[in-house]
Amino acid sequence: MPTSPVQVRDFAQAHMHTILAHLAGPGAVPRADQVDAVHAVLQPASRVLVVQATGWGKSAVYWAATHAIRSSGAGPTLVVSPLLALMRDQVSAAERAGLKAATVNSTNLDDWDDVFQRLDEDAIDVLLVSPERLGNPRFAARLGTLLARVGLIVIDEAHCISDWGFDFRPDYQRLARALLSTPTASVLATTATANERVTHDIGKQLGEGTVTFRGTLARTSLTLSVVPGLSPLQRFAWIADALEQLPGSGIVYVLTVAEAERLTAFLRSCGHAVDAYSGQTDADTRLQVEDRLRHNQVKAVVATSALGMGYDKPDLGFCVHVGSPSTPVAYYQQVGRAGRAVAHAEGVLLPSDADERIWDYFATASIPDPQTAEKVLLNLGSDGRSLIEIEADTGVRRGRLEALLKILAVEGVVDKDGSAWRATGVPYVHDSAKWTALARVRQQEAGIMRQYAHGAGCLMAYLQTALDDPSPAPCGRCSVCTGHLPFPGLTPSPDKLIAARDFLRGMDVDIEPRKRWPAGVGRKGAIRGFDAGRAVAFADDPGWVAELQRMRNAPPGDVPPDLLLGAVATLGRWAKRWPARPVCVVPMPAPDMASNRALAQFIAHKGRLSLHDVFSWTGGPAPDDVASTPVVAHLESVIRLATDTVLPAGPVLLVATDVRTRWTATVAAALLRERGATQVLLLALHLRP
């Protein structure tokens, strides 16, 4: 490799030209700051951070740097990438750039040996891995040898290190301890979404002497809009109307998996070609959905944040958000998928009254509680415990427990051997200042999104300012600058509103029976409880949101008439699948049974069934936000079935206004089965997540 500054810059420029010719054609001209970034990376053991808007060409920088480093005889480039979809795109892009690329991830275990052999033979220019591979024993065993050989380490989507890496992908924090410690390789971190705080934190983790290249985040091709004040039902109708006129194909972002599935089903009923995409979509289906969108075989993908970082479709015509992400970083990252290689694209936000409640949950859900951490560590000891055993013994709910164990593993306090977790002996030191500061920052960022949703100023300039762009300026195109809202404005069509209400109220919500009793309770093994269940509404169901709110605010026993009629309609659809009609109705036990009794009386009257009010509740409510064992143990102690209960022969319909964990219904159904019920069917007005 050349040594003088002028020669190194010429060297960087030549390789940048070569890569761009492969990627964009022989006439492509590099940006001056792209060449500067490659030049910086080519310095010995350099640390470089590139913060540039989506579509600027950050990947071209690391392909050009790789091309230059490999031509000088140095080792391959290691790219740490957070998503499988992103890795697939990057492998394809690297090969188009004339580089030999491979990936090691959780879906290609059978290919690992071949990839490792090709690495040993120096036949791979680029290896892409997910951050989780760093904690995999099979990969970790080769990591030392690999790090001694690599010429460049690339940390893609580097904002994960600082802004949300601790709870979204805790393994990203292994980077500072493993990858960044290499004394010889250069390190390049790239992101399109980093404010000054995140940029400073990434630079601090990369080390002293980090060179940062930061450009404007303004997107001239993107027209931003906020359509305020729509009800949940109106938002569904708005999108059904808007898809008739929005340009090209695009993404409709929602905040929950349930919303993705509901909205997809409704839009399909309106004749739109759409697919759903979430963290619960299996890997093969994800790939198919990504390809259908990439080739414009669907009008839109209705997605959670699972479809985001690095998804490569330059001609994406629109990005609509049903509900706001909690931070301007997250919003810019998602809306920035649109308009990369087209003259005009739409970025529309339909804010929701429920947004802030969802923000509050995710802002604190994964922050570790020091008392809980100590309780888990005392339970672990040094012998190792399975996740199920830890959950049963500590009472910590599964989701919170898994998040906590990941954080403790990153801190070196616990490790995992197969399916067993064990304490390493390293004490856990709770960094109160860190977590308090993080909670405060998230509150501030939620405030920024609240102001954005209220149209406090030019939307593009507002995002630029929120992300500490060096040159924010009014865009002249957004809904605040022009006063113009995209079709259908503030009033979706009446026919779509009626269609949305009727469709959503006609959706079936299954309630999955529990399978096995948790350890440490009176009953053991497989559960004989309710056989099947249905609910009228799930979560913040747009078809029933007003009625659910009225029920929450009403006195016990006062159930909205529309929900009662919805229960009858749900039973009517469900009855087609019953092997036999229920013979009686039983209100589910609860601390206050007035509403369950009112529902049971209504169903018994409408269905001409006998009513058996046989349960009582003696004690306080079940504990909330804990694991299954203490919940079931409490329910077994407070739920009583009348000793003189005699049930008619046949299926029993157990009814409740509200179901969440399903354990109350499970215990009650088990008591009914033990008293002779041949089958128990569960009907609820509202299934809460």
Residue type, 643: T
> For residues 592 and 326, what is the distance between their CA atoms, to the nearest angstrom?
36
Q: Of 131, 121, 66, 132, give the one whose Cα is nearest residue 95.
A: 66
**DSSP secondary structure of 205-249:** HH-TT-EEEE-----TTEEEEE--S--HHHHHHHHHHHTTTS-S-
Whole-model pTM over 0.85: no
Query: pLDDT means per 10 residues in the chain (689 residues)?
Result: 78 94 89 93 94 87 96 93 75 92 87 92 93 75 85 87 54 66 86 82 85 88 95 96 97 94 97 96 90 96 84 89 86 87 94 76 75 90 83 85 87 86 92 84 82 90 86 93 96 96 94 94 95 95 94 96 97 93 97 97 97 96 89 97 93 97 97 96 96
Round to whole Å and give the CA distance between 553 and 545. Answer: 13
Distances, alpha carbon 477 to alpha carbons 128, 220, 224, 474, in Å: 39, 9, 7, 8
For 154, half-sphere exposure in the C-beta direction (CA atoms, 13 angstrom radius) is 31
Rounded Cα–Cα distance for residues 277 and 678 (Å): 39
The Cα 595–Cα 658 span in angstroms is: 9
SS3 string, 257-318, reads HHHHHHHHHHHHHCCCCEEEECCCCCHHHHHHHHHHHHCCCCCEEEECCCCCCCCCCCCCCE
Q: How does 528-547 read in b/e, with b if 16+ C-beta sit within 10 Å?
A: bbbbebbbbbbbbbbbbbeb
Q: How many CB atoms lie within 10 A of CB 406?
A: 22
Give the Å distances, CA to CA, from 201 to 158, 188, 195, 329, 446.
10, 15, 10, 15, 20
Query: 520 burial class (0-12, 13-18, 19+ CB within 10 angstroms)?
Result: middle
Give the pLDDT score at 593.
96
Domains of the chain with bracketed CATH: 5-214 (3.40.50.300), 222-354+454-504 (3.40.50.300), 369-429 (1.10.10.10), 506-687 (3.40.50)
Residue type, 2: P
- Give the pLDDT score at 325: 85
Residue 555 to residue 553: CA distance in whole angstroms: 7
Distances (CA, A) of 167 to 377, 407, 604: 19, 8, 48
pLDDT at position 166, please?
A: 46
Please spell the DSSP secondary structure of 395-438, one letter per residue. ---HHHHHHHHHHHHHTTSEEEETTEEEE-SPPP---HHHHHHH
Residue 442 DSSP one-character state: H
